[in-house]
Amino acid sequence: MLNIKLFHFGALQACCAVVWKDGAKGCAVIDPGMFYPEERPQLTDYIDAQGLSVDAILLTHGHFDHFYGAGYLQKRTGAKVYIHPRDVVVASHQMDSVARLALKNHPYEPFEPTDVAEGDSISAGGISWKVLETPGHSPGGVAYIDDEDALVFPGDTLFAGSIGRTDLEDGDYDILMDSLLHKILTLPDEYEVIPGHGPSTTIGAEALTNPFLQPFNEPLAQED
């Protein structure tokens, strides 16, 4: 049986997930964005209460609301933090901006990154996570896919009824649409999508109803 516990951290309510299979001794933690100090024990106390270790910390992209707690969790658990190398640069730029705000009450601990790339497989929580490169919202955005359980974490690439914004640092609308049409939407319709913000959905529901994707789903004109 697959177990998923979702948290929503920070002012932007970014989704953080703890995922593991029954019988696994460890778990995968996806996008630990704990921004406020009191959010840290919410995550770690839950993991401890389940009797789990952290096998891996998986970052979908390098925006601070998704990685702010990664260094703290890495220091506490010793787990590797996986992130695409292009978004290591984005994360560095993000922290320069956050530092200028002098957020003394929101301590940040840097993380040591481990690179991921298209086609990589990461074992965590009794699951083999497939890495899919999905740039556009950020240059090194990735999705983590659990094919056995028909599950995908796309970060901020795809939302229920919406898509990722591209007006932030290094965002690119055309690249995002290419990632959506030729990567994310090629997954089977029944795959559950747990986005970086907002409610869960499915690939099939977004292919049929997402207004940002509808122009690309019109049937081909029939020739007489």
Within a domain: 223: no
Query: What's the per-residue H, E or C state across the chain?
Result: CEEEEEEEECCCCEEEEEEEECCCCEEEEECCCCCCCCHHHHHHHHHHHCCCEEEEEECCCCCHHHHCCHHHHHHHHCCEEEECHHHHHHHHHHHHHHHHCCCCCCCCCCCCEEECCCCCEEEECCEEEEEEECCCCCCCCEEEEECCCCEEECCCCEECCEECCCCCCCCCHHHHHHHHHHCHHHCCCCCEECCCCCCCEEHHHHHHHCCCCHHHHCCCCCCC
Q: Examine residue 187 and state whether it is found in any structural domain, yes or no.
A: yes
CA atoms within 13 A on the CB side of 8: 10
Asked if the model's pLDDT at residue 202 lies above 80, the reply is yes
Chain segment 21-74, per-residue pLDDT in tens: 999 999 999 999 999 999 999 999 999 999 999 999 999 999 999 999 999 999
Domain for residue 161, yes or no? yes
What pLDDT, on a 0 to 100 scale, did the predictor assign at position 95?
78
The domain in which residue 197 lies consists of: 2-216
106 pLDDT band (50/70/90 cuts)? confident
Whether 221 maps to a domain, the answer reads no
> Does a structural domain hold residue 114?
yes
CATH code for the domain in which residue 110 is found:
3.60.15.10
Q: What is the pLDDT of residue 53?
A: 98
Give pLDDT, residue 105. 64
CA distance 134 to 154: 8
User: Is 224 within a domain?
Assistant: no
pLDDT in tens, 153-200: 999 999 999 999 999 878 999 999 999 999 999 999 999 999 999 999
User: Is 128 domain-assigned?
Assistant: yes
What's the mean pLDDT in 119-128?
98
Number of structural domains found in the chain:
1
| This model's pTM is above 0.95 | no
Task: Provide the token pair at 103.
Answer: 């957020």
Confirm whether 110 is domain-assigned.
Answer: yes
